[in-house]
Structure 1
Amino acid sequence: MDLQELRKKLDEIDPKIVELYEQRMDVCSQVADYKIGTGKKVFDPAREKEKIDTVKGLTHNDFNRTGVEELFEQIMAMSRKLQYQKLTEAGASGRLPFISINSIDKKTCRVVFQGAEGAYSQAAMFKYFGEGVHNFHVDTFRDAMIAIEEGAADYAVLPIENSTAGIVSEIYDLLAEYENFIVGEQIIKIEHCLIGLPGAEIKDIKTVYSHAQSLMQSGKFLSDHPAWRQISMKNNAFGVQKIAEDGDKTQAAIASEYAAKYYGMNILKKGINKSETNSTRFIIVTNQKVFLKKANKISIMLEIGNEVGALYHILSHFHYNHVNMTRIESRPIGDRNWEYRFFIDFEGNLADSSVKNALRGLREEAKSLRVLGNY
């Protein structure tokens, strides 16, 4: 039998597969109608495992067994998505625990940021809320989370990602630990300066203070001065504060031009970070479950089973609901070795039907799901 004849046989088989697939989905639609009427859950893992084991047993070799398993996993995943869609269309979209608001009251709110006066977080806060906002600062990111959880502040401004250094992993871990929610974001350009005491020169410097990420971002410049001792601080502005208090001309800090002006220090060199496009994304966090009506980005956190294809099936909910996923990060779960939680950003608003449908599927099939915010 030549190739053309073989292709002809495939052309005869494929329409039959399509016809059977559509017949199966029609039955699945009827199953969805039954579940809508009875309140029965869509996802039944025990039933799906039983079904896959049955169809695998109908094959005649190991290769086909693996292929049929993968095929029916996909078919049943598409069946679930159809059922989720019908549930949403029937108005069974579930309770939305978040309340939509028109705007944030930036005039009377109280905002906390981590670091000292002159920190990049303070600059991000002023850009988002305005320079007249009531604010205070704390030493650590955890302190900021506690401040909004306990009501000492209405909002916290926290750095979550830098365009060159990557994520601030501690912030992701704190979002998992505390019941606080993202309501906004602010991106600011980062231009690091080498800052010294008035009258100091670069040739005087022996020790440099800054945050670990800022030291890394300024690595090329610092490599030209191998004799300098580099000391990590909790925040860039703490470094400027320290050299101002110590009054030692051999000390310098890496921080913003804003920090240098605030403490009356001298800028020895501007733009020492290696990337001219370096920016940091800050999130605005609150303890209230609210979202702006015009919000267009959603952040979620979820955990899934350690099984073959688990992440693939979870992510397919974005594809089938035409929701654009923009970011995914994984972080280890502290008290469980080799297990991870995923942080996902995607476009949309919690009031969108496509988002509701995707979240319904994710909630039913993930081990746990939490919406971190819509902003």
Structure 2
Amino acid sequence: MDLLELREQIDNIDEQIVRLYEQRMNVCRQVAEYKISTGKKVFDRQREMEKLAKVRALTHNEFNRCGVEELFEQIMSMSRKLQYQLLSESGSLGKLPFIGVDELETGKARVVFQGAEGAYSQAAMVEYFGDAVNSFHVDTFRDAMNAIDEGSADFAVLPIENSTAGIVSEIYDMLQEYENYIVGEQIIRIEHCLLGVPGAALDDIRTVYSHPQSLMQSARYLELHHWQQISMQNNAFAARKVAEEQDRSQAAIASEYAGGIYGLEVLQRKVNHSGTNSTRFIIVTNQKIFRKDAKKVSICFEVPHESGSLYHMLSHFIYNNLNMTKIESRPIEDRNWEYRFFIDFEGNLADSAVKNALRGLRDEARNMKILGNY
């Protein structure tokens, strides 16, 4: 038998597979209609485990057993997606616990940011809320989240990601921990300066203070010198410390704006090595609201610690034609080598495709949480 004949056999088999697949999906449609009428859940893990064991047993070697298991996992996943779509079309998916609003009520809002006067967080806050914003600042990110949680502030402005240094992992962890939600974001350009007390020169410097990420973003410049580097909670704290101690051997890496507030001189501009360095800040509140024109959804979830589990979760975005823009993972406390995944994707909570994907994720993932739509 030559190659052409073998390929013809494969084509014939594939045609049968397609016909059988469509027959199977038609039955799945009827199953969905039954579940809609009876209120049964789409995802039945016990039923799927039994089905996988049964089809594995029909094969004759280990290679085929693994292949058939993967094939039927995909077939059952697509069946679930069809059922979720039908539930959505019938109005049986229910409402998400978020309220759409035309605008955020920011006129009389009280806003908190982390750091001291002159922090980049303050600049992001002013950019988002305007110069007349009623604000106060706190020492730590947790203090800011607590201020929202207890109601002493309506919104918090928090850095979540830098284009050079990556994510602010502490913020990711607290988004999962607190019942606070993202309702907006602000991206600002970062231009670090080396700041010293009046009269200081580069040759005087022995110690540099700044936030760990700012030190990282300025690593190439700092490598040219043999200065001690000391981390601070915030760039503005570093500038304030140098100003208060008036030690010519100390310098801070912070914004020129912070230097002006604390009376420091710019010893060197643009010490961060990336000319396009930017930080993304999120606007957080304790209300479950979203703007009706919001275009990005952020969620987090955990997955079973087994092969293919993350792949199956991500398939909900594929089958609902949703564009995933970011994925990050964070270790789960007290569960070694298990991770929580944070995902951003394009969409609005009012969209049927978004509702469909979130319903599937909620059924199949562990501890899925909507972090916000903005």
Normalised TM-score (structure 2): 0.99
Normalised TM-score (structure 1): 0.99
Aligned mates of 2:12, 2:21 — CA distance in 1: 15
* 1:363 maps to amino acid: R
CA RMSD of aligned residues (A): 0.7
Aligned to 1:142: 142
Aligned to 1:327: 326
* 1:271 maps to amino acid: K
What does the per-residue CA deviation read over 1:156-207, in whole Å, with 9 as the maximum and x for residues that have no partner?
A: 0000000010000000111111100000000001100000111111111111
Aligned to 1:90: 90
Query: What is the SS of the residue equivalent to 2:322?
Result: coil
User: 2:158 matched to 1:158?
Assistant: yes
Q: How does 1:141-290 map to 2 (within 5 A)?
A: 141-226=141-226, 228-290=227-289
Aligned to 1:9: 9
| Percent identity (aligned) | 70
* 1:134 maps to amino acid: N
What does the per-residue CA deviation read over 1:99-146, in whole Å, with 9 as the maximum and x for residues that have no partner?
A: 111112332100000000000000000000011100000000000000
Aligned mates of 2:72, 2:105 — CA distance in 1: 51
What does the per-residue CA deviation read over 1:265-315, in whole Å, with 9 as the maximum and x for residues that have no partner?
A: 101110000110110000000000000011000000101110111000000
Gaps of 5+ in 1: none
Query: What is the SS of the residue equivalent to 1:80?
Result: helix
- Runs of 4+ in structure 1 deviating by more than 3 angstroms, as ranges, are none
Q: CA deviation at 1:247?
A: 1.1
Aligned to 2:50: 50
* 1:28 maps to amino acid: C
Query: What is the SS of the residue equivalent to 2:92?
Result: coil
Q: CA deviation at 1:95?
A: 2.2
Q: How many residues align?
A: 374
* 1:325 maps to amino acid: M
Aligned mates of 1:277, 1:122 — CA distance in 2: 20
* 2:85 maps to amino acid: Q
Query: What is the SS of the residue equivalent to 1:83?
Result: helix
Query: What is the SS of the residue equivalent to 2:42?
Result: coil
* 1:372 maps to amino acid: L
* 2:287 maps to amino acid: Q
Q: CA deviation at 1:352?
A: 0.2
Q: CA deviation at 1:250?
A: 1.3
Q: CA deviation at 1:321?
A: 0.2
* 2:147 maps to amino acid: A
Aligned mates of 1:95, 1:219 — CA distance in 2: 48
Aligned mates of 1:206, 1:24 — CA distance in 2: 73
Q: CA deviation at 1:10?
A: 1.1
User: 2:331 matched to 1:339?
Assistant: no
